[in-house]
Structure 1
Amino acid sequence: MKQRIFMYLFVFAMLLVLFQFVNSKRVFEDMNQNIGDYKEQLQQYKDSLVSMQHDITDLSHFNFNRNEDAISYFENQGYNVSELVPVIKDELYKLNEVKGEHPIVPYAASEGKRMMINTIKLLNHKWIIADFTDGKYWGEMFLTYYINENQQIEFNVVESFLYPFD
C-alpha cells in the first residue's frame, strides 16, 4: 500500500511538473513575443525621433539663433546678442502702439480696427519675417533692419502681401 501511495504521489508530481513546464513554456513564448513587439515599436520610435530631428534642423535653417555668421556680425560690433534680439523684437512691437495707421504695415485696416504685428522671426542680421492682422484681414511681410550710428533700429519693408478675404 505504501508503494502505491508513493507511485501515485510520483505520478501526481510528474503531472504537476509537466503542467508547470507547459505553462512556463507558454508564458515564456508570450513574453518573448511581447519583447519582440516592444523592440519593433522602440525602433519605430527611434526612427521617428531621427526624422523629427532632421525636420527641426531643416526648419531652423533660417533662424537667427542658429546662424553663427549673423551672431558674429553683431558680436564683432560689440553687441550682446542675447540682449539685442529682444530689443529688436520689442522695437518692432512698439510700432503697434503708434496712433493712427501702422507705420510699416503697408495696408489699411478694416473700419474701426488697427493693423498690428503679431509674430516676428529674425532670419539673420539683416532680415525679418513678420505677420500682421487687424482681426479680419491678415498678411505677412519681409523686412530689412539695421542699427544706425545713434543705436536706433530702422526697419524697411521690402515685400508684403495681404491674404484674400473669403
Structure 2
Amino acid sequence: MKNKIFMYLFFFAVLFIIFQYMNEKSIFEAQEKKITSLSEKYTVAQDSLLNMQSLVADLNYFTLQGNENAMVYLENTGRDPKAVEAFVSDAIYDQNLEQGGNPLVPFAGINGTMLVNKIKFLNHRWLLADFSDGKYWGEMLLEYSFNEASELELHTLGSLLYPQ
C-alpha cells in the first residue's frame, strides 16, 4: 500500500513537473516573440529617426541658422545671426503697420492691404516672404543688407501673386 502511495505521488510529481516545464516554456517563447517584435520596431524607429534627421539637415541648409558659411560671414562682420534674424524680421513686420500696407509688397491689395505674413531666411543676404490681403496671396524674394552706417536696407528682387 505504501508503495502504491509513493508511486502515485511520484507520478503526480512527474506530471506536475512536466506541466510546470510546458507552462514556463510557453511563457518564455511568448516573451522571446515579444522581445523580437520590439527589437524590430526599435530598429525601424531608429532608421526612421535617422532618415528624419537627415531630411531636417537637408531642409535646414537653406536657412540662416543652418548655413555655416552665412553664419561665419555675419560673425565676421560682428553680427550675431540670431540677432540679425530678429532685427530684420521685426523691421519687415513693422512695415505692415504703414498706411496702405507693407511697401515691400509690389502688389496693391484687392481685398484689403497686402501684409507680410511669414518670413524664411535663406542665408545672410536673401529671404522669402509670404504676403496676403486675406483673399489673395503671394510670395516674394527680398534682399537685405547693412550699409556702412549699419542701417538695414531691404529690396524686393522678385515676387508673384497666385491666381485665385
Q: Which TM bucket (shorter chain)?
A: over 0.9
CA shift digits 1:99-157 (9 cap, x unpaired): 1142011111124x211111111111110111011110111111111112232211111
Amino acid at match of 2:123: N
How far did residue 84 of structure 1 move?
2.2
In the alignment, structure 2 segments of 5+ residues that lack a partner are none
Following superposition, which runs of at least 4 residues in structure 1 exceed 3 angstroms of deviation?
none
Alignment RMSD, CA only? Answer: 1.3
CA contact (8 A) 2:136 2:162 kept: yes
Q: Tell me which amino acid in the other structure corresponds to 2:54.
A: H
Percent identical: 43
Residue equivalent to 1:162? 161
CA distance in 2, matches of 1:84, 1:56: 22
Q: Is the 8 A contact 2:109 2:133 kept in 1?
A: yes
Aligned equivalent of 1:32: 32
**More moved, 127-136 vs 71-80:** 71-80
1:61 is aligned to 2:29 = no
TM-score (norm 2): 0.94
* 2:95 and 2:101 in contact (8 A); partners too: no
Shift of 1:96: 0.5
Match of 1:148 in 2: 147
Q: Which runs of 5+ in 1 are unaligned?
A: none
2:65–2:81 CA contact under 8 A, matched in 1: no
Q: 1:28-72: per-residue Cα shift (whole Å, max 9, x none)?
A: 111111111111111111111111111111111101012222122
Q: Confirm whether residue 79 of structure 1 aligns to residue 66 of structure 2.
A: no
Superposition pairs of residues 1-166 of structure 1, within 5 angstroms: 1-111=1-111, 113-165=112-164
Amino acid at match of 2:124: H
Cα distance in 2, alignment partners of residues 75 and 46 from structure 1: 36
